[in-house]
Amino acid sequence: MRAASEQKPKRSFAARALIGAWLSLLIVLAAASGYVLMSAPPAAEQASESELAMPVPDGDSGTDQAVQSPAPMEPAATPEQGTEAAPEQPAAPESEATPEAAPDSTAEIAPAEAPPVESAGAEGQAAPPAEPAEAPQQAALPEAGANEPPAGVALPPVDESAPWRRNSQAFADSDTRPRIAVVLTGLGLSSAATEAAIKQLPAGVTLSFTPYARRLNEWIALARASGHEVMLDLPMEPTSYPNDDPGPQALLTALSARQNLERLDWTLSRGSGFVGVAAVMGSRFAASTEDLGPVLEELKARGLMYLDNRASDDSAAGAMAAKIGLPVAVNDRALDRAQASRVAIDARLVQLENVAAAEGFAVAIGQPYPVTIERLREWSKDLDARGFALAPITAIANRQKQHQLAGGG
C-alpha cells in the first residue's frame, strides 16, 4: 500500500513535467509566430513607390487582381545618341535688323545714301567731324506769291484718283508762306528708329520706308495714321558699286530695261498707301538717261511721284521727270550725310530756310538717326513763328525753280 502511494506523486510530477514541456513548446511556437508577423511590415516597406502607386485594374468580379510593376522606361535619346533636339522657336522680329538688320527684311543692304550736304552731290565717305565756324544767316522771307510754280515748269493736270494725290495728306494750297519739305529715308529696318520717327516728328515730315523692311505695311499704316505722307525708297546703283551695295532689288545699269522694270515692280508691290518713291544712292543710275527713262515713264503711268536725291551733279532725274509730266521734287540739302551732329544738322536747317526764303520752296533729306530726329523735332516747334510752312512732299511737286529741277544749285 505504501509503495503504491509513493508512485502516485511520481506520476503526477511526470504529468506536470509533460504538460510544462508542451506549454513551453506552445510558447516557443507562439513566439516564433509572433516574430514572423512582426517581421512582415518592414519587408513591405521596402516595396518600390511605383509599385505601391500603381492602381489596381478593375475586373468583372470583386476578386483581387495581381498588380504588375511597369516595365523600366528607356532613357530619352540625347543629341549624342543621334536624336535631334527640338528646334528652338524663332524670336519675333523687333527689327528689323538692320542693315536691322539686315533688313527688318529679305536681305541686308548698305545704309541708304544721301548727297553731300553743301551741294547734295555725289556719294562717298562721310567727311571728318568739323564744327562750322558760325551758323549761316537767315535770308529775308520772300514776298507773297513767291511760291507759285516757276516759269517754264507747268504743273501736270491733277488726277485726284492718282496715288500721289489719293494718298497725300491735306495741305492748304492757298498758304503763301515758303514751304519746306523734309523727307526721312531708310525707315523700317530699325523698329526703335522707325517708331521714334512716326511718333516724335510732326505730321508734316514725310517718311520713306525701305522696301526690304519685314513689317512694311504695318509701318506705313502707323505713319499714315499719325498724319505723315509716305514714300518708298528706290535703291539704285551708285558709282561706288559694288563696294556700296544698294541691295538685291536695286536698279542697275548692267541690267536691261525689262529687268529694271521688274525690280521696280517688286519694290512697288511691297507696300501700299504711298505717294511715290525716293531715290536712294543712284549716282550712276540717275546719270544714265537711257536707264532712268523707262523707270520714270513707269512711275508716271502708275500715278506716282519721284523724289530725286541729287546723288550726283550729273543727275538727269529732275529735268527728265519735269519734261514728261511726272510729279517730281529735288533735294536741296542732305541734313546728316557728311556729319550727323547737332551743330551740323542745325546749320543745314538754317541753310534750308535760306533756300526756302529765296526760292519759295526747299526740300531736305535725312536719315533716321536719333540726333536727326531730335533736331528736327526741336527745329519744327517754332517754324510757323519764323514764317515757314512745314509741307508734305506732294505740296512741293513740280514747284521748285527750273534750275533746281535741272540739278543746279
Look at residue 37 and tell me if it is in a domain. Answer: no
Look at residue 3 and tell me if it is in a domain. Answer: no
Look at residue 50 and tell me if it is in a domain. Answer: no
Residues 378, 381, 384, 385, CA torsion sign = negative
Cell 511597369 -> residue? 70
**pLDDT for res 219:** 97
Would you place residue 160 in the very low, low, confident or very high pLDDT band (cuts 50, 70, 90)? confident
Would you state the cell numbers that stand for residue 182, as one nine-digit string? Answer: 523734309
List pLDDT tens digits, range 255-296. 999 999 999 999 999 999 999 999 999 999 999 999 999 999
404 pLDDT more than 80? no
List pLDDT tens digits, range 55-87. 433 433 333 333 343 333 433 333 333 333 434
Look at residue 112 and tell me if it is in a domain. Answer: no
Look at residue 34 and tell me if it is in a domain. Answer: no
Separation between Cα atoms, residue 309 and residue 121, nearest integer Å? 9
Look at residue 83 and tell me if it is in a domain. Answer: no
Look at residue 75 and tell me if it is in a domain. Answer: no
Separation between Cα atoms, residue 375 and residue 345, nearest integer Å? 7
- Domain with residue 372: its CATH number is 3.20.20.370
Domain housing 227: 163-405
Question: What mean pLDDT, rounded, does the chain reach?
Answer: 76
Cell 517708331 -> residue? 195
Separation between Cα atoms, residue 337 and residue 349, nearest integer Å? 13
222 pLDDT more than 80? yes
41 pLDDT more than 50? no
Separation between Cα atoms, residue 366 and residue 376, nearest integer Å? 10
**pLDDT for res 153:** 47
Look at residue 293 and tell me if it is in a domain. Answer: yes
pTM equals: 0.65
Segment (H or E) for 185: strand 179-187
**For residues 11 and 243, which has the higher predicted lDDT (pLDDT)?**
243
**pLDDT for res 73:** 40
Looking at the 3D structure of the chain, how many domains does it have? 1
Residue 392 burial by CB count (10 A; 0-12/13-18/19+): exposed, middle or buried?
Answer: buried
